[in-house]
Structure 1
Amino acid sequence: MVATDQLCNEINLAARQSADYWFLEGRLDDDRSKCRRAEPELVGLQNRLQQLIGAIQEQDRKLILDDAAETVMDLFDSMTGGQFMVASRDADRPRAQRVFNAAAELNGRLRIAVARRSRLLW
């Protein structure tokens, strides 16, 4: 449970930082510089999430995360898809909303998987 809580916190952190990125206007000088600083961090956050999910699966091979796999890809696409790393891009509020939606769905799917796993122990 603690590992799941930590992973959900990491997902929420990644979603917050990604949404902040998508609220920036890449065509404005000040925002462009913020975007450039944020881009490698967002890619790193994706890698961190991927590694944490892999570690949790390795710790508990009976934890089935198949339902979460597609949602992970949705989160990653919403974080770094579209106009990601395009210097002259506009702010993208719908994409920021997609990030939050995907993060919420992933948190839910992870918690459901843990609950199902707990039932197997009884």
Structure 2
Amino acid sequence: MIVYAEAVAAEVPDRKLPPFPEALIHIWQDFRELRPTKLVGMSAQQITWAEIEAFDAATFAGLSAWEKRLIRRLDDAFEAARPGNAPKKPASIADTRAALRAQIAARTAKAQAKGGQPSPT
């Protein structure tokens, strides 16, 4: 599905598009409905988690957590593949987790050096 979004964004002719996973058509439709809401001037902005949550609540779509993550990944892939955009790859979950663990470890070490507990903020 990500490959499909990249092909659509890159304006690949329909006859050359990769096969679409029919079981995920509802996600594609939700993504296409959310996408135009992010236009600012002539460029599109990233779809935020809050917008996905608001869309889910307003439309009673009943999106699961993985479907919401897929919409975000579709948006990242779509933006990266648009003509004129520098190629960029969305951060992987593993990279995000590693960065968060490093921040938590640094905060914990700092708090322990001061003799206290890490602050919640």
Normalising by the residue count of structure 1, what TM-score does the alignment of the two structures yield?
0.29
Larger RCO (CA within 8 A; separation ≥ 6): 1
- Bigger fraction of residues in helix: 1
Normalising by the residue count of structure 2, what TM-score does the alignment of the two structures yield?
0.29
Larger radius of gyration: 2
